[in-house]
Amino acid sequence: MEEQNKKILLVEDDPNFGTVLKDYLMMNDYDVVHAKNGMEGFEKFKKDDYDLCILDVMMPYKDGFTLAKEIREKNTDVPIVFLTAKAMKEDVLKGYKVGADDYLNKPFDSEVLLMKIKAIMQRKATDTVADSKQFEFKIGRFDLNSKLRFLKFDGGEPTKLSPKENELLRLLALHENDLMPRELALTKIWRDDNYFTSRSMDVYIAKLRKYLKPDPNVEILNIHGEGFRLVINNQ
Amino acid sequence: MEEQNKKILLVEDDPNFGTVLKDYLMMNDYDVVHAKNGMEGFEKFKKDDYDLCILDVMMPYKDGFTLAKEIREKNTDVPIVFLTAKAMKEDVLKGYKVGADDYLNKPFDSEVLLMKIKAIMQRKATDTVADSKQFEFKIGRFDLNSKLRFLKFDGGEPTKLSPKENELLRLLALHENDLMPRELALTKIWRDDNYFTSRSMDVYIAKLRKYLKPDPNVEILNIHGEGFRLVINNQ
DNA sequence: TCTTTTGTTAACGTTAGGTTAAACATAATT
DNA sequence: AATTATGTTTAACCTAACGTTAACAAAAGA
């Protein structure tokens, strides 16, 4: 069995620092793709699958946060680490809000970075890997392609799904016929669990139910106080 | 609604700092158990299940690393965050080696700590794939699915159960054909044992008897002054 | 008999969820 | 830069679900 190197997307506008960091990571057996700005970073992200993104916060045109948000719309799971100029508390908090896994204050120790990367990769490894790789689902007479964010009925014209619609339906599908806890969706998709995000989720459930109406054998049931259940009656 | 707070084990020998931190976390809806040293920390860890451990590194007798190692031997999954005195690189690296998820340099910003905790909890939010064994019961001609909270008769249409109905029937099923003491249900389900909760429980027993009526071989008997007994006559 | 415990039904108050529409935010287009 | 399209959150209103309590009846034990 051939151990595949982990792939890292590094987005850093400082050419010197970026190159040094890239080389250092490659020396430590990571495959690194280096983008010089936010735009390029997003292009490269769309073209490939990465195990980790390291984003500089301060970049011209498109800063690290904006990029992170775009990345999160495409992929809720990939770990993101920010490089912040100094101990800017605001930046750190903002980073976590857009779904960062960690941050590092520049200048930082390269060994510490390596350890952080290792720790993050390990966490991911213990997470349900099988789940994150699954992007296509058969839901009754529907086909959900979660990567392209569309839903087909009877193989006809696909309906486009918004990022949130897509993620929610995907989570439900992953738990097909079983309980999908409210809390899970809220922490995974909304990254926060409060009254308003909860109501927001209910709104999305309503939207999904509309989409799924054409097939009477598919329904989203509520389990009061617990969550939802995507039931597929196959007859 | 019984949204369970996340439980944190905080091991910190400085009594002032420890108390302040504990209060701050509790203000933010975490259940916190505070241990004053490594030994006590390990004792408390063994006695309960925690969602997160926050360990001070510098402690007399047993330092945070040693404690972390012991914790890891018992549990490979629980997230651990270290509090290090300052940016001691050695400490940070050592921390990651014993399986830390993150670290914080003292003094640290409390909001940043909160965000880190949130981020860590969210990662862990990935499905607690509870074994279905514990949640499925055969009760005469009924099937109880305690996770999805429904009761099926002869494999037909499932009847939805409310949380309390479900818990109560599950407790009875766990004690099948045996005494299920009143007090047990009251403390486990109602978390209080007084006249009113007791009457409330009787109301639920009545509801359950109605649900179970279709199978004459299943009944809930009362043992005066003691509790109830779910009897299943298999002929 | 008389007291305590249990059985049962109905009424009530509270919270969670379903749904729609408006407000707000952001990205895309002109 | 201004406008339009798209996505998301917030607000509002309504219904359903749930749990508690009260009230009265029946049974058990003393």
CATH at residue B194: 1.10.10.10
pLDDT score recorded for residue B177: 94
Contact B127 A184 (CB under 8 A): yes
Query: In terms of pLDDT, which residue wins out, A23 or A90?
Result: A23
Are A207 and A125 members of one domain? no
Quick check: A55 and A31 in contact, CB under 8 A? no
Are A187 and A213 members of one domain? yes
Helix (H) or strand (E) holding A227: strand A227-232
d(CA A164, CA A205): 10
Are A182 and A123 members of one domain? no
Are B11 and B112 members of one domain? yes
Contacts of residue A181, defined as CB under 8 A and 6 or more positions apart, other chains included, come to A226, A227
- B66 within domain boundaries: yes
Is residue B84 over pLDDT 80?
yes
Quick check: B4 and B27 in contact, CB under 8 A? no
pLDDT score recorded for residue A89: 76
pLDDT score recorded for residue B127: 42
The β-bridge relationship of strands A102-105 and A136-139 is: unpaired
d(CA A24, CA A32): 10
Q: Cα angle at A170 between A169 and A176, to 5 degrees?
A: 85
d(CA A97, CA B155): 46
d(CA B101, CA A79): 13
Quick check: A144 and A137 in contact, CB under 8 A? yes
- State pLDDT tens for residues B110-144: 888 988 888 888 776 654 444 455 789 999 999 99
Query: In terms of pLDDT, which residue wins out, A47 or B55?
Result: B55
CATH number of the domain where residue A94 is located: 3.40.50.2300
- B12 within domain boundaries: yes
- B68 within domain boundaries: yes
Are A141 and A102 members of one domain? no
Q: How far is the CA of B206 from the C1' of D25 (A)?
A: 14
Is residue A4 over pLDDT 80?
no
Candidates B78, B74, B84; CA nearest to B101 is: B78
- A1 within domain boundaries: no
Helix (H) or strand (E) holding B65: helix B64-74
- State pLDDT tens for residues A42-87: 889 988 889 999 999 888 778 888 899 888 888 888 899 999 876 6
Q: Does B136 touch chain A (CB under 8 A)?
A: no
Nucleotide nearest to A204 (CA to C1'): D8
CB-count burial class (<10 Å; 0-12, 13-18, 19+) for B213: exposed
Cα-only R_g, chain A = 20
Is residue A2 over pLDDT 50?
yes
Q: Count interface pairs A-B at CB distance under 8 A.
A: 68
Contact B96 A116 (CB under 8 A): yes
Nucleotide nearest to A165 (CA to C1'): D7
Name the residue of chain A whose CA is nearest to B160's CA: A223
Write the DSSP assignment of A36-52 as a string of letters: SSHHHHHHHHHHS--SE
Instruction: Provide, as residue numbers in chain B, all residues whose Cβ is less than 8 Å from the Cβ of A109.
Output: 89
Are B99 and B16 members of one domain? yes
Is residue A105 over pLDDT 90?
no
d(CA B55, CA B18): 11
Are A63 and A166 members of one domain? no
Is residue A189 over pLDDT 80?
yes
Q: What is the mean pLDDT of residues B152-169?
A: 94
pLDDT score recorded for residue B128: 45
Are A60 and A146 members of one domain? no
Query: In terms of pLDDT, which residue wins out, B88 or A190?
Result: A190
Q: What is the mean pLDDT of residues A89-96?
A: 82
Contacts of residue A22, defined as CB under 8 A and 6 or more positions apart, other chains included, come to A10, A32, A34
Q: What is the mean pLDDT of residues B151-157?
A: 92
* Confidence at B4, pLDDT banded by 50, 70, 90: low
Chosen domain end from A94, A129, A164? A129
Report which residue is nearest nucleotide D29 when distances run from CA to C1'. B224
Candidates A125, A119, A110; CA nearest to A26 is: A110
The β-bridge relationship of strands B179-181 and B30-35 is: unpaired
Is residue A129 over pLDDT 50?
no
Instruction: Provide, as residue numbers in chain B, all residues whose Cβ is less than 8 Å from the Cβ of A191.
Output: 122
- B1 within domain boundaries: no
pLDDT score recorded for residue B133: 57
Q: Which of A131-140, B11-20, B95-104 has the highest mean pLDDT?
A: B11-20
Contacts of residue A150, defined as CB under 8 A and 6 or more positions apart, other chains included, come to A144, A158, A159, A160, A161
> What Cα–Cα distance (Å) separates residue B174 from each residue in A36, A213, B86, B212, B229?
62, 40, 52, 16, 11
Is residue A132 over pLDDT 60?
no
**Interface test with chain A among B93, B127, B131, B161, by most A beta carbons within 10 Å:** B127
* Confidence at B209, pLDDT banded by 50, 70, 90: very high
CB atoms < 10 A from the CB of B47, how many?
A: 8
Both tokens assigned to A206: 């309503």
- A215 within domain boundaries: yes
* Confidence at B148, pLDDT banded by 50, 70, 90: very high
Residue B164 structural domain: 132-232
Are B118 and B137 members of one domain? no
Angle between helices A64-74 and A38-47 (to 10 degrees): 20
Q: Does B94 touch chain A (CB under 8 A)?
A: no
**For chain A, how many structural domains are there in total?**
2
Helix (H) or strand (E) holding A160: strand A159-160
Task: For residue B35, give how far its alpha carbon lies from the nearest alpha carbon of chain A (Å).
Answer: 26
Contact A119 B100 (CB under 8 A): yes
- A94 within domain boundaries: yes
Are A120 and A28 members of one domain? yes
Contact B125 A224 (CB under 8 A): no
pLDDT score recorded for residue A175: 94
Quick check: A65 and A98 in contact, CB under 8 A? yes
* Confidence at A234, pLDDT banded by 50, 70, 90: confident
pLDDT score recorded for residue A87: 62
Query: In terms of pLDDT, which residue wins out, A204 or B98?
Result: A204
d(CA B75, CA B22): 23
* Confidence at A26, pLDDT banded by 50, 70, 90: very high
Instruction: Provide, as residue numbers in chain A, all residues whose Cβ is less than 8 Å from the Cβ of B118.
Output: 96
Angle between helices A110-126 and B89-97 (to 10 degrees): 20
Q: How far is the CA of A173 from the C1' of D14 (A)?
A: 30
Q: How far is the CA of B224 from the C1' of D28 (A)?
A: 7
Strands (E), B61-188: 80-84, 102-105, 136-139, 142-145, 150-153, 158-160, 179-181
d(CA B53, CA B50): 7
Are B111 and B147 members of one domain? no
Are B118 and B141 members of one domain? no
Is residue B107 over pLDDT 90?
no
Chosen domain end from A129, A157, A173? A129
Chosen domain end from A129, A153, A172? A129
pLDDT score recorded for residue A126: 55
- B194 within domain boundaries: yes
- The average confidence (pLDDT) of chain B is 88
pLDDT score recorded for residue A19: 95
Query: In terms of pLDDT, which residue wins out, A212 or B6?
Result: A212
- Tokens 């057996």 locate to A29
Q: What is the mean pLDDT of residues A84-94?
A: 77
